[in-house]
Every structure is written in C-alpha cells, then in structure tokens.
Copies of this chain bind each other. A is one copy, B any other.
C-alpha cells in the first residue's frame, strides 16, 4: 500500500515542504533511508543525516529549518516522534491479528476464555484462569491458577503469569517476563539458616502497562504488589514484593526496586538504578543512570543522580572534582605542611 506526502500530511495535520505527490510504502531509519520510504528526524544530533538520506519523506519537528537543500519531502509536525508513533500505530493496526486456540495448547477445563483470543501452541492455562476477549498469548507462555488477563492484552512468547495474579487491559508483556514469582522473604533462624516466608499475596497490573523482556515482578507476602496504569517497564527490571509503582512511571532496563517501596506517578528511572526497600519516592522524580537511592525522596520533581543519590547538579559538579581528587589531596597536604612549619617557628 502506498501513501503520498499529501495524504500523510493531512492525516498528521502537518505542513509540507517539497513535492506533495511523492509516495512511500514503508519506513526506514534516516541514516540508511531508502527511496520509497518515510523516515523521521527528532533528535537534533542526527540532523546531518537529512542532507544525505535517500528516504522520500522525512517527518521533522516544526522548528526544524534545513541549513541547505534537502532531497526528501519534509513534513513539519508538532512532534516528529509522536507523529511517527501515530503513523506506525496506524499501520500496525491494519495488520491482521492472529486468532484461534491451538490444539497444542493446554487449557484447563475450568478456565474461562473470552472471544476472539489467540492462544498459541504450548501455552498453559491453569485452573480457574480467566482470559479476556481479544487477548493474544504467544507460544510457551504460562497462566497460573486463577490468574486473570484483561481484554486486548498481548503476551509474547514464554511469559509466565503465576497463580492468582491479575493483568489489566491493553497491556503488553514481552518475552520471558515473569509476573508473580515469590517475594524474597526469609526469617533467620538460630542455627544460621533461613526459614522461607511463604508469599501468599499476588501481583496486580493495571491497564495500559508494558513490561519488558525477562523482567521480574514478585508477588506480595500478603496483599498485592501493584503496577498502576500506564507504567512502562523495560527489560530485565526487578520489582520486589509489596512494591507499588504509580501511574505513568517509566523504568529503564536493569533497574530494581526493593521490597515494600512506593514509586510516585510520572517518575523516570534511567537504566541500572537501584531503589532501596521500604522507602517512598514522590511524584515526577527523575533518577539518572546507575543512581542508588537509599532514602525516601519527599520532594516532587526531584532530579537526582549518584551513588548515593544527590541532586543532579551537585552530582555533576562533584564528579568533576572527583577526577581531581589526587591533585586536591596533594595541595592540602602541602598546605598543611607549610602551615605546620610556620607554626613551629
């Protein structure tokens, strides 16, 4: 299927610079754009690619002004990235969805299965589980006893939803994600070994949540570990038992939140961040990569980085001094020596 720059611009309410009749039938990255495809330019760092790309159409932010002539037709929009999201979403929606229940799946007779679902081969659906309408579950996934998967949710291959856990509507769980593994709870005993605390709670994932590949979310000891609506978790993230992540918070890869902590709404955790247990993070906080957060952060919109976390401007300035520490120490000892010599006189 082909679309012209004019058609696309109208759909996006954009502004055309160049030939409105040029047509595209696919997408490409700007650095190796091919003729007949549409690309986008959002990060100014990549602006130079626009002068060489062979893409036929490029979406650009409305404030983008080419410094010299460009080959492709440009479509100016409020946000090139969001416009791309719209276009891609539109194209994705037109793709036919898989449908039907494989005879090679295992479905407990007591499970309730909605209409228009896709259940692939080697999927296990346990006793009393409920699978909503339009749900898609790819091969080798596991839905434990009495677990629920909400309407229109999509599970990639090898996802495990353990017993009693609840997944909302319109969620996406990527391959290998685990929801509802036991929380890490042990009571020390006098002989130095540990007694397991059975974890009898569950995990509740609200609507519109995305969970990355091989990410793990532990069930609560008692009650629920809760991931609120709109939360996005990247790959290899760890969410411990009894944590609550409030709505629209984004957590990048390899970050971890220890037990019983609460993360506010609309927070951003960059990669490899660690949040200690039993603390609270206010709304709209941002933590730079590899930050370690040992204590509660009460001030909303805090922007912090470091190990342990400090306000990001302090982190940046302290990092610069860090490199200089050996020199600084040398000067201090020299001054001390001079001062001591002075005193002796």
Interface residues, chain A, CB within 8 Å of chain B?
Answer: 27-29, 31-32, 39-40, 43, 45, 79, 81-82, 84-86, 88-89, 91-92, 102, 104, 106, 120-122, 124, 138-140, 142, 144, 156-158, 160, 162, 172, 174-176, 178, 181-182, 184-189, 192-198, 200-201, 208, 210, 212-214, 216, 218, 220-223, 230, 232, 234-236, 238, 240, 242, 247-248, 250, 252-254, 256, 258, 265-266, 271-272, 274, 276, 278, 289-290, 292, 294, 306-308, 310, 314, 317-326, 328-329, 331-333, 335-336, 338-339
B197 in contact with A84 (CB, 8 Å): yes
- Taking the closest CB of chain B, its distance from the CB of A32, in whole angstroms, is 6
A335 in contact with B328 (CB, 8 Å): no
B338 in contact with A339 (CB, 8 Å): yes
What residues of chain B lie closer than 8 Å to A158, measured between beta carbons? 140, 142, 158, 160, 176, 178
Report the bound CA distance from A234 to B139 in whole Å: 25
A290 in contact with B289 (CB, 8 Å): no
The contact of A258 among B82, B208, B271, B307, by CB within 8 Å, is B271
The residue among A32, A81, A195, A290 with the most chain B CB atoms within 10 A of its own CB is A290
Given contacts A156-B181, A218-B235, A253-B240, contact A290 B317 (CB under 8 A): no
What residues of chain B lie closer than 8 Å to A172, measured between beta carbons? 182, 196
Given contacts A82-B187, A106-B104, A266-B192, contact A253 B238 (CB under 8 A): yes
What residues of chain B lie closer than 8 Å to A85, measured between beta carbons? 185-187, 195-198
- Taking the closest CB of chain B, its distance from the CB of A84, in whole angstroms, is 6
The contact of A318 among B238, B265, B290, B322, by CB within 8 Å, is B322
- Taking the closest CB of chain B, its distance from the CB of A329, in whole angstroms, is 5
5 other A-B residue contacts (CB within 8 Å) besides A218-B235, A318-B323: A81-B197, A88-B197, A124-B140, A182-B210, A216-B236
What residues of chain B lie closer than 8 Å to A240, measured between beta carbons? 253
What residues of chain B lie closer than 8 Å to A138, measured between beta carbons? 142
B326 in contact with A325 (CB, 8 Å): no
Given contacts A142-B175, A194-B248, A274-B290, contact A323 B336 (CB under 8 A): no
What residues of chain B lie closer than 8 Å to A213, measured between beta carbons? 160, 178, 181, 216, 218
What residues of chain B lie closer than 8 Å to A175, measured between beta carbons? 142, 160, 162, 178, 181
Report the bound CA distance from A220 to B240 in whole Å: 29
The 10 A-B residue pairs with the shortest CB-CB distance, nearest first, are A29-B223, A181-B213, A124-B139, A88-B198, A142-B157, A321-B325, A82-B187, A106-B121, A216-B235, A160-B175
Closest to A293 in B: B289
Report the bound CA distance from A29 to B299 in whole Å: 27
Closest to A140 in B: B140
Closest to A272 in B: B274
Closest to A218 in B: B235
The contact of A181 among B28, B181, B212, B310, by CB within 8 Å, is B212
